[in-house]
Amino acid sequence: MQQTKQQKEALIKSVTEKIKDSKALVFANYKGVNVKHVTIIRRELQKSGSSWQVLKKTLLNLALKNAGVEVNARELEGQVGVAFSRDEVTAAKVIADFQRIHKEVSFSIQGGSLGSKALSESQVKALAKLPSQDELRAKLVGTLQAPIASFVRVLGGNLRGLVQVLKAIETKKA
């Protein structure tokens, strides 16, 4: 089915907005991947607030240029799908995990972008190894809580010691 010029312009505008709203993009070659596996990718990305879209390279290239991203989609190999990520690492993690779990599927990361800067395949894979914002927040809370919890235990120990001394004095007088 052929798209009209107006439909293509609307699609480019929509994708440009998605790119501007995303902190990171991951480009993947999904040639030969069946609908079942693409559905798995979409669901996993949606769980994390990210999304997946398949576009023609020329339309993707126009949207990237409009959004000010330094990636040339025509240089990407195969059929290109784009993962739009609300944070810096989520989409890269989901795509890398899918690739690791489903080795039988010919699905490969082609590159990505972080903000307006282009990323190579190896940089996207390195990004996938970083902890997510939620993991970092949890570590920060644990780090902040540890000294407070230790202080409470020390105070509790002093009170227990005082109670034991008073109990010993009471036992001695009785």
pLDDT digits (tens, 9 = 90+) for 73-83: 888 888 888 99
Band (pLDDT 50/70/90 cuts) for residue 33 is confident
Left (φ > 0), alpha (ψ -120 to 50) or beta: where does 133 sit?
alpha
CA nearest 89: which of 56, 131, 55? 131
Model-wide pTM > 0.75: no
- In this model, does residue 67 exceed pLDDT 80? yes
Alpha carbon distance, N-terminus to C-terminus of the chain:
98
Q: How many Cβ atoms are within 10 Å of 54's Cβ, its own excluded?
A: 12
Question: What is the average per-residue pLDDT within 77-100?
Answer: 88
Mean pLDDT taken over the chain = 86
State pLDDT tens for residues 38-53: 888 899 889 888 899 9
State pLDDT tens for residues 121-149: 888 888 888 887 777 788 888 888 888 87
Residue type, 59: L
Q: Please state, in angstroms and rounded to a whole number, the distance separating the CA atoms of residues 107 and 146.
A: 43
